[in-house]
Amino acid sequence: MNYFELFDIPVALQVPSAGLSDKYFALQKKYHPDRFAQAPEADQLEALELSSQVNKGFRILKNPEETIRYVLQLKGLLQEEEKYELSPAFLMEMMELNELVMEADGDAGALQSVTRAIDQFKQDIYEPVKKIMANYQEGVTSEEELLQVKEYYFKRKYLNRLTSSRA
């Protein structure tokens, strides 16, 4: 059973946050190990496992990047610890952006400019997959479209590392 099935929601690249917490609390209440304290050991172990799955599923489904990663893994398009090769053009842009970040160190005006550049870059890499992300449908969205999402995922991950290093 995958996390979408566990939470009884359709597979999606963008999970609506509305109702997710309610489903989480309902599942936690249903499978909380304390409710099975007097049950046979097998039932206790199953409740413990399900409670753990609920926690992990909630953590993944409430995090947009983790959700993308999870869907790509479900589709067999992303392997654990996969080394993805980004284009040289993208890597050059990241080097330039990193230089801007380093040059702006301590200069409030320059930091604002760098922040705007980073925000614009995030929009630029999201734009090609925006419709795919919003309109994902199981069995309809093509593998080619999901590979575009995979490219976006790794670009965003790279960009996040760059921006977190300056924080």
79-138 pLDDT, tens digit per residue, is 988 999 999 999 999 999 888 888 887 788 888 888 888 899 999 999 999 999 999 999
Do 58 and 92 belong together in one domain?
no
Q: Domain for residue 20, yes or no? A: yes
Residues 96 and 46 in one domain: no
Domain hosting residue 111, numbered range: 88-165
- One domain for residues 94 and 161: yes
pTM: 0.88
Mean pLDDT of 44-64: 95
Element (H, E) at 167: none
Does residue 18 fall inside a structural domain?
Answer: yes
CB 126 within 8 A of CB 64: no
- DSSP secondary structure string for all residues of 99-148: HHHHHTTT-HHHHHHHHHHHHHHHHHHHGGGHHHHHH--TTTS-HHHHHH
Confidence of residue 166 (pLDDT cuts 50, 70, 90): low
Count of domains for the chain: 2
Q: Is residue 82 part of a domain?
A: no
Task: Report how far residue 27's alpha carbon sits from residue 34's, in angstroms, rounded to the nearest whole number.
Answer: 13
Q: How confident is the model at residue 26 (pLDDT cuts 50, 70, 90)?
A: very high
CA nearest 91: which of 155, 157, 160? 155
Whether the predicted pLDDT of 167 surpasses 60: no
| pLDDT confidence of residue 98 | 87
In-domain check, residue 115: yes
